[in-house]
Amino acid sequence: MIGRGLINRAVATFVAAGAAFVAMVALGATVYYLLLLVVPPVIAAALTALLFALIAAIVALVFVRRARGDDEDEEDEEPEGLGARALHLFQQRPILGAAAALAGGFIFLRNPALATMVAAAFTEKSRGRRRR
């Protein structure tokens, strides 16, 4: 199958995201019940929400700073291949990437054969030299 590696990576990503979600819910419940031993339920809920909001803000700031530092180096390099170009474009313009993903998903639902051809184009190696 042409896109088997791509499908395996997508499945692994979704499994990891699901496991992270379950872990965060379990951590939130643990923090809430630990705070419930000390403070009333309303305050425990507010403190748990505040804690997770702070964690989300810190993670967002770390990624924003990391992204700002990497932009200067990435602009000099020209990506090779269709997949690398698309990834570079979607990293630069995430809203365009989301819109393209939704449109592509709709088109691929209507015509599955087209999805196979596109997957083959993205997974194909660049042809620097041809066989004879």
d(CA 106, CA 112) in angstroms, rounded, equals: 10
Contacts (Cβ under 8 Å, ≥6 apart) of 31 = 47, 48, 51
SS (H, E, C) 72-118: HHHCCCCCCHHHHHHHHHHHHCHHHHHHHHHHHHHHHHHCHHHHHHH
Please report, in tens digits, the pLDDT of each residue of the chain (132 residues total).
556 777 778 888 888 888 888 888 998 999 999 999 999 999 989 999 888 888 888 888 887 887 776 545 555 566 677 667 777 777 787 777 777 777 777 777 777 777 677 777 767 665 555 555
Q: Please tell me the pTM assigned to this model.
A: 0.44
